[in-house]
Every structure is written in C-alpha cells, then in structure tokens.
C-alpha cells in the first residue's frame, strides 16, 4: 500500500509541474494565467508565447504523463494486490489530475489533453495513435485545436475498446479509465464548446498569437 501511495503522489507531482507557467516566466516574464485564455496548457502557450514555446510545452506536458506511467512500472510490486496495469492507470489518473489541478498554480492548471495523451501513449499506444490521427485531421481541416481535442478525447474509449491488446480484465479497466479521462477533458473544454456553438472560437495559426 505504501508503494501505491508513493506512486500516486509522485505521479500527481509530475503532472502538476506547470511547464506553460514556467515557459511564460522564462521567455516573457509573464504569468500565463493572466494572458490569452488563462489556461496553463500548450495551446495557450502556443498562442501567447509563440510556436517554439508552445511545442516545447506540448512535448513536456505529454512527457510527464508518460513519465508517471513509467514510474508506476518501475516501482510496481504485487504486495498490494494490484496488477502492474492497475498501478499504471492510477498513476496516469493522478498525473492528469495534477495537470488540471496543479498545486504549483493555485490548483488552476490546464485541460489535461497533452498529459492524457502521454499516459495513453504509454498504456495503449494504438488507441493513442488513432486519437492523434483524429486530432490532426480535425485541426488540419477545420483549424480548431479545441474541437480536435474534444473529438479525440470523445473517441478515446472506443479506440481503447477496439485496439487494446492486453488481457480482458486489463482492457476493461483501461477502457473505464479512458472514459473518466475523456469526460474530464471534455468538461474542461466547456467554454470552448460554448464559443464553438456561438461561432467565436479562435482558429489555429502556425504563427501563434
């Protein structure tokens, strides 16, 4: 049980590292929560700080999700009665929660997309690849990052169900965690959904800004 607590705590702290906040302060001396959408995520970093910072934040945010799963795999022991996949899923959830509600940013973080992507890249890579494909097509055709993220998240449970190759028990646990993550990500996009419905959501531009 101590291992479980340690892994969840470490995963939360990894997820809570606010790379976009750090990038804003290092590159422009600003608190990103007071600029653009106010969101501590890669999309706001891209628009506010520029493409280089935005891509760096995207990769780092995804990396901390994958790192949380790696920590769980490294520290896993069967003494608590949990399988390795179970511990990885708990770590993944903790990392996504840490990103959304970061203790380092007064519990005001990002929307969890990149961190969740890193988690599922490690746990269910085929499902991850399918959702990335959906995101790329939607953003490429319609130029809305938020819509791409919403649709990719919404499709994640189906992608897991159709492509996950682990045992039956593991597959259902991964599926239900993917449902929780998808609901959390879509819920975090409530304001974007409202803007999309009213036709005033900002479109993606390679120039940022």
pLDDT value, residue 204 = 84
The model's pTM: 0.92
Q: With 90 as the cut, is the pLDDT of residue 209 above it?
A: no
Domain boundaries, the chain: 2-198
What are the tens digits of pLDDT across the range 62-102?
Answer: 999 999 999 999 998 765 678 899 999 999 999 999 999 99
pLDDT at 208: 54
Buried b (16+ CB within 10 A) or exposed e, 106-132: eeebbbbbbbbbbbbbbbbeebbebbe
pLDDT tens track for 149-204: 999 999 999 999 999 988 878 999 999 999 999 999 999 999 999 999 999 998 88
pLDDT score for 36: 87
The pLDDT, as a whole number, for residue 168 is 78
**Residue 186 CB burial class (10 angstroms; 0-12, 13-18, ≥19):** middle
| pLDDT single digits (tens) 101-125 | 999 988 989 999 999 999 999 999 9
- In this structure, the number of other CB atoms found within 10 A of the CB of residue 162 comes to 11
Per-residue pLDDT tens over the stretch 11-52: 999 999 999 999 999 999 999 999 988 899 999 999 999 999
CA 133 – CA 5 distance, rounded (Å): 35
In angstroms, how far is the first alpha carbon of the chain from the final one?
47
Note the helical H segments in 39-144: 42-49, 51-75, 84-100, 113-123, 125-142
Residues 6 and 9: their CA atoms lie apart, in Å, by 5
Please tell me the predicted confidence (pLDDT) of residue 85: 94
The mean pLDDT of 127-155, rounded to a whole number, is: 97
Q: What is the pLDDT of residue 106?
A: 86
pLDDT of residue 148: 97
3 state SS for 15-56: HHCCHHHHHHHHHCCCCHHHCCCCCCCHHHHHHHHCHHHHHH
- Enumerate residues 6+ apart whose C-beta is below 8 A from 82: 4, 76, 90
Nearest to 19 by CA among 48, 62, 50: 62
């Amino acid at each position: 049980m101590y291992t479980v607590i340690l892994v969840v705590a470490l995963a939360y702290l990894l997820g809570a590292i606010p790379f976009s906040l750090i990038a804003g302060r290092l590159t422009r001396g600003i608190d990103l929560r007071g600029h653009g959408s106010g969101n501590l995520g890669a999309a706001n970093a891209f628009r506010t700080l520029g493409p280089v910072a935005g891509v760096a934040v995207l990769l780092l945010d995804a990396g901390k999700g994958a790192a949380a799963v790696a920590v769980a795999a490294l520290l896993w022991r069967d003494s608590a009665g949990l399988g390795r996949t179970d511990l990885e899923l708990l770590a993944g959830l903790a990392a996504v929660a840490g990103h959304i509600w970061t203790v380092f940013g007064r519990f005001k973080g990002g929307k969890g997309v990149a961190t969740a992507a890193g988690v599922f890249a490690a746990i269910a890579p085929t499902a991850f690849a399918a959702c990335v494909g959906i995101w790329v097509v939607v953003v490429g055709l319609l130029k809305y990052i938020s819509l791409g993220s919403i649709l990719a998240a919404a499709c994640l449970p189906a992608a897991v169900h159709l492509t996950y190759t682990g045992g039956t028990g593991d597959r259902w646990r991964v599926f239900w965690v993917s449902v929780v993550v998808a609901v959390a990500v879509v819920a975090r996009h409530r304001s974007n959904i409202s803007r999309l419905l009213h036709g005033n959501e900002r479109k993606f531009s390679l120039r940022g800004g």
